[in-house]
Structure 1
């Protein structure tokens, strides 16, 4: 059983928003005792070939919040995503709230600051975010207490956010038939990811888990909610009968076969800046394409 404080009696309301272009699920999670909410892993739309950014997904979240008279207190990034761009600053500009991420964002910024040849003007101290979370930190959404679990392995900054009887796991886990995310990005590690997953699976079996991505394995419909108990019993990578050594061997071999995510170049540049698009010396939005660097 987990050493983290968990209050299963608190049952927040969760509204999911699925983006088919990136297979990302964003969430609005509401404190059951107030109108306070957090937005988890929002998506900014990009037509990469045309260099065009739009906000249809974010506007859908904004309309939902405004239509239900909700109050955004937090905009949470579970990690620095490599497959979609965050809309957190856009939503913040419309609805307020503080943008939060794990404190190891500083490691990600240092690594990719070099990859993208960023100048010294790019701060590598996480100061683009309003809050940096450590393992075991807590914060409030209205009257609901949230606890953060540091779950590195996919990326160094991955965090799981536990809110009452729900937990938002980012890419630490997929649905049971999807297994787990890759661990071959800079700072990733299959052994560390296995240990992080065990931390999540130490939560109560009845804890509801919400995924950041789903790809509909074997043609099934897209899903994003499961439980700790279901993952422990049925997860194809870490469930019953799968050892740590088995996981490390499989994950390492599998990751060597995976292609680079198609949006990794714009995603990392934007997301390590808390969702802000970088600009050139004249203030124009611009994205770099490093050659032979990723």
Structure 2
């Protein structure tokens, strides 16, 4: 089981994608893990840059941390991961839940990827199995399988902190959509209740925040706050009620702006597609297919 230690958590908010990248560690000079990094991407020009990741690097170096893990909660549809850049600069192993193979199989077909694209997750250094424990220096971490938003979502429990990915948002925002391939509102409800069955004082860290106009960005809450106030999943909301709400809401949502580039990059653990004979990597945009 995860250690009782209370890890230090530093969040870096990327305003362009509403994403929070976390650095979790025991103390200054210790080992650390980076969770859900962001590679900046301009969809108008197709150019990438590293401003968000460079903030992570600066913090890690300021605190004299040694990167042991670069973790993904899932293959994100709203931002590109900076995992290869961070690994080149800081070291560490990349890891994701082992159900990523199901997502790779689906999107290899959607994008008609090259025949030798592997659907076995070997693009990542390590695939975490359900409830697998692993070390971040003296901290013990655990991978919690929480599908629903995608079939491969995991949360990371490190001491009294849980990094929930897209399973939950802040209480006044609610829950993640479930209409991507392999998503399921019924499954998400079960995953959310799994997280909300943890002790009330457990700190929960969101992957995103989309704040209402009347509050500033926040991305830390607790199990108790979520159970009392989450607009979609507070105590008393039953599965059938949640599924009806989530299904109706998802039918009104537009696709994320970056879903097509993001998924193609993220199922490759952040690597770009193989270069064409002119030395340039290209992304595919399937017309009238989604």
TM-score (norm 2): 0.97
Higher mean C-alpha deviation, range 229-238 or range 211-220: 211-220
Q: CA deviation at 1:6?
A: 4.4
Contact 1:214 1:222 in 2 (8 A): yes
Contact 1:34 1:143 in 2 (8 A): no
RMSD after superposition: 1.1
Residue 201 of structure 1 is matched in structure 2 by: 196
Alpha-carbon separation, structure 2, partners of 1:114 and 1:134: 25
Q: CA deviation at 1:241?
A: 2.3
Mapping 1:79-90, distance limit 5 Å: 79-90=74-85
Alpha-carbon separation, structure 1, partners of 2:58 and 2:144: 30
Residue 135 of structure 1 is matched in structure 2 by: 130
Alpha-carbon separation, structure 2, partners of 1:204 and 1:157: 24
Alpha-carbon separation, structure 2, partners of 1:281 and 1:39: 32
How many residues end up aligned between the 2 structures?
289
- DSSP 3-state at the match of 2:67: strand
Q: CA deviation at 1:32?
A: 3.9
Residue 103 of structure 1 is matched in structure 2 by: 98
Alpha-carbon separation, structure 1, partners of 2:288 and 2:99: 25
Q: CA deviation at 1:279?
A: 2.7
Residue 71 of structure 1 is matched in structure 2 by: 66
Alpha-carbon separation, structure 2, partners of 1:70 and 1:6: 21
Alpha-carbon separation, structure 2, partners of 1:281 and 1:266: 17
* Correspondent of 2:272 among 277, 280, 284: 277
Q: CA deviation at 1:280?
A: 3.2
Residue 151 of structure 2 is matched in structure 1 by: 156
- DSSP 3-state at the match of 1:290: coil
Contact 1:10 1:32 in 2 (8 A): no
* Correspondent of 1:231 among 211, 226, 234: 226
Question: 2:286 aligned with 1:290, yes or no?
Answer: yes
Residue 182 of structure 2 is matched in structure 1 by: 187
Residue 170 of structure 1 is matched in structure 2 by: 165
Alpha-carbon separation, structure 2, partners of 1:60 and 1:218: 26
Q: CA deviation at 1:84?
A: 0.2
Q: CA deviation at 1:277?
A: 1.4
- DSSP 3-state at the match of 2:44: helix
Q: CA deviation at 1:236?
A: 0.6
Alpha-carbon separation, structure 2, partners of 1:101 and 1:190: 22
Residue 28 of structure 1 is matched in structure 2 by: 23
Residue 10 of structure 1 is matched in structure 2 by: 5
Alpha-carbon separation, structure 2, partners of 1:114 and 1:269: 11
Contact 2:29 2:64 in 1 (8 A): no
Provide closer, same or farther for how the CA distance between residues 107 and 246 of structure 1 changes in structure 2, counting only shifts above 3 A: same
Q: CA deviation at 1:240?
A: 2.1
Alpha-carbon separation, structure 2, partners of 1:117 and 1:273: 14
Alpha-carbon separation, structure 2, partners of 1:162 and 1:218: 31
The CA deviation string for residues 172-201 of structure 1, in whole angstroms up to 9 with x for no partner, is 100111110000000000000000001101
Provide closer, same or farther for how the CA distance between residues 6 and 141 of structure 1 changes in structure 2, counting only shifts above 3 A: closer
- DSSP 3-state at the match of 2:11: strand
- DSSP 3-state at the match of 1:250: helix
Alpha-carbon separation, structure 2, partners of 1:118 and 1:218: 41
